[in-house]
Amino acid sequence: MTNLKEVVKAEEETFDIEPGMDILKVNKKLALKNRELLRKHKVKAIDVMGSIGAGKTSLIEKLVQALKKKYRIAVFKGDLTTTIDAERIGCHGVEVVAINTGRECHLDANLVARAVEKIRLEDIDLLFIENVGNLICPAEFPLGTEKRVVVVSVTEGPYMVVKHPFSFMDADVAVINKKDLAKVMKVDTKKLEMEVKEIKPDVKVVVTNALKGEGVEELVDALGL
Amino acid sequence: MTTQIVESVLAEAEKQDAKKVTEVHLTIGKLTFLGIEQVRFAYRILVEDTIMKGSKLIIKEKSGVIECPSCGYKGTLETEDNPMYHVPTPILKCPECGEAAKIVEGKECTIERIRMVK
């Protein structure tokens, strides 16, 4: 038997900390770093976003064909698992780095920074980054590019702009692709254009038929290339 | 995103040698793509088997603010309720002069405060 009656415990201490940490800022900061690095090497970078099947790869192929004499071009191609598109673009004689995200539905500034390590920035002037096919999430994650392009196509239906307004808020150029199918799809491209401008008045809208290369010249102008 | 939130809170708690996290206060901008309902759902699953289990998640929403580089207007981002589609569409047009305005607030997801027990 002991005389122990009570045990005195050091009191648990409850306290608050205020980290004020912006989770999205981590990506934004990395994006700024990418931008500075690209600027230092005088590389113009363009982020191409849009749904699966909107025509991003076809447009990039046509842009590469139109611009490869004027610029030394590299392309980063984001996809979950395959390198099908990367190989398609590679056929045009430009350097391509495939970025496989595994499961992620978008590229982020960190993945782009890792892809940048794979190329010699001294050897290029223009970089296209084709984002993962997805009209929503990529817009949340800036990559550090000078310009952002959103590609939509008339086969996605007449409401894709009003349904996805957030995707256009950070865009510099919006492409409405597959204009040759507009009539069959009963989609008015003029109306889509107005809806984009309503969300962001300074966005440049270009209507294209990427497979035939129609509107590519206008797109080159809109990108200031 | 929620994984990143939980990982960041756990890292802060570890730095402080905390035994338990009891409250997490977040501010989520209305112009992010984060759905509050979904963040809450993912949070509950992610904190299982961590010292954050059972913690309260308090989320404050922050409205979007735009600023017009042309006329200097600064104010809350207007959304247009389109009755045809039942979606609020954000309008980046300056309500004063009609030029393109820039987003200055509403794109953040900030861990404001963490309450923990040592």
Average pLDDT over residues A181-199: 94
Q: Which chain A residue has its CA at the smallest distance from B3's CA?
A: A23
| Residue A62 vs residues A51, A188, A211, B106: alpha-carbon distances, Å | 18, 24, 8, 37
Q: Is the CB of A13 inside 8 Å of chain B's CB atoms?
A: yes
Residue A78, domain member (yes or no): yes
Q: Name the band, by pLDDT with cuts 50, 70 and 90, for residue B98.
A: confident
A160 touches chain B (CB under 8 A): no
Please report, in angstroms and rounded to a whole number, the separation of the first and last CA atoms in chain B.
Answer: 27
In a domain, A7, yes or no: no
Other residues' Cβ atoms within 10 Å of the Cβ of residue B33: 17
- Find the mean pLDDT for residues A33-62: 96
For the stretch B52-90, pLDDT in tens is: 999 999 999 998 899 999 999 998 887 766 665 555 677
Number of domains chain A contains: 1
State the nearest Cα–Cα gap between B57 and chain A, in angstroms: 14
A19 within some domain:
no
Residue A53 falls within a domain, yes or no?
yes
Domain with residue A119: its CATH number is 3.40.50.300
B70 with B90, same domain? yes
Determine the structural domain holding residue B91 and report its residue range: 66-102
Q: Does the residue A117 lie in any domain? A: yes
Domain extent, residue A191, equals 24-222
Q: Looking at the structure, tell me whether residues B43 and B74 fall in a common domain.
A: no
- Does the beta-carbon distance from A17 to B113 stay under 8 Å? yes
Q: What would the pLDDT profile of A57-87 be if each residue is shown by its tens digit?
A: 999 999 999 999 999 999 999 988 888 888 8
ipTM of the predicted structure? Answer: 0.75
The CA distance from A1 to the nearest CA of chain B, in Å, is: 33
Is residue A95 in a domain? Answer: yes
pLDDT bin (cut points 50, 70, 90) of residue A147 is very high
pLDDT at A75: 95
The number of folded domains in chain B is 2
Per-residue model confidence (pLDDT) at position A198? 86
> What average pLDDT score do residues A20-26 get?
88
Q: Please give the C-alpha separations between residue B103 and each of A31, A165, B54, B63, B73, in angstroms, as whole numbers.
A: 17, 14, 36, 11, 12
Answer whether residue A47 is part of any domain.
Answer: yes
Contact A198 B91 (CB under 8 A): yes
Token readout for A47 is 């982020």
A51 falls within a domain: yes
- Do B52 and B72 lie in one domain? The reply is no
Interface test with A, best of B27, B33, B62, B68 (most A CBs within 10 A): B33
